[in-house]
Structure 1
Amino acid sequence: MLYYLLYLLLHLLDLLDYLFHPLQLLFDLQSFLHHLPILLLHLTVLPFVLYFVYYFLHLKLSLLRLLLSLLNLLLLHSSLGLIYLHLEVIHLNFYLKSIHLFYYRLTFVLLSHLGYLHHLLVLKGVLSILFGLFYLNNYNLSIVLILLEHYLYYSLN
């Protein structure tokens, strides 16, 4: 995150420099167009990084709550502790699947920027079917349907 803030700050300083040296803008515009694909890659990957940090923090909190529920169950021998433990396992399972899906999305973005879009669509379709085979619950089935819809859309266009 700090890298992106410094990157933006440097570009703001460059913009101030262009106010005093307009000809420099023409030379740097050619350089900017040359590096545009890399800039677009950074802009598309940044939301996925933020998404991962968000889910990683939730995963750590979920693990902590799971540990506390387990201690509650062991120390108090209460049925309430057992219910909490079961809920935290479900909660943790959801976040683990979300992070798994994050890696899949990030791989798709990176490979599509490298120009492997045609092969990637086939891979995307195969992974969608595998998601459906391994995770047969409502949450993942909805993801599979969305991914298959995208696969059909990209393969037909």
Structure 2
Amino acid sequence: MTVSTSMPSRSSFLMGEATQAWKYFQETGYPNSKNENWRFSNPEAWLQKDAPRVQKNGQNSLQEFSGLIQPDTTPVFIFNESVVIPDELPEGVKIVGLYSEIQENPTGETIGGVADFHISPFIAENMALFQDCIVINISEGCKI
């Protein structure tokens, strides 16, 4: 497995947006049935507010989650501090951590936009905590 370490702290990567999003999330919290968008449901039951933090060391994480890996699959783990990708991938498949890829091959291209975190506390929380993502590139005609 290759452990691609993302930045240990946010640095300047979306710092302003993340700070504003975290402030908004702290003020609003998770939605409940009093929120118009959630009036028929309440996410409290499935929120894991006290979930244990995963260790920074990718190998410890793999051991911890090895029981969850399905047979004949390619496991990819995305943690706050790292992206863990198998050393051997099916032919025609490339998986990269976006932050690492930008550092190694800066192109100036844009692959998306920044969501308006005022729409939902979940968007605000994700924006505030977002550190990295993966890009999965599957070649045309590739059969997996």
Structure 1 or 2, whichever has the larger Rg, is: 1
Higher relative contact order (CA 8 A, sep 6+): 2
Q: Whose helix fraction is larger, Structure 1's or Structure 2's?
A: 1
TM-score under structure 1 normalisation?
Answer: 0.25
Q: Which has the higher strand share?
A: 2
Give the TM-score normalised by structure 2.
Answer: 0.27
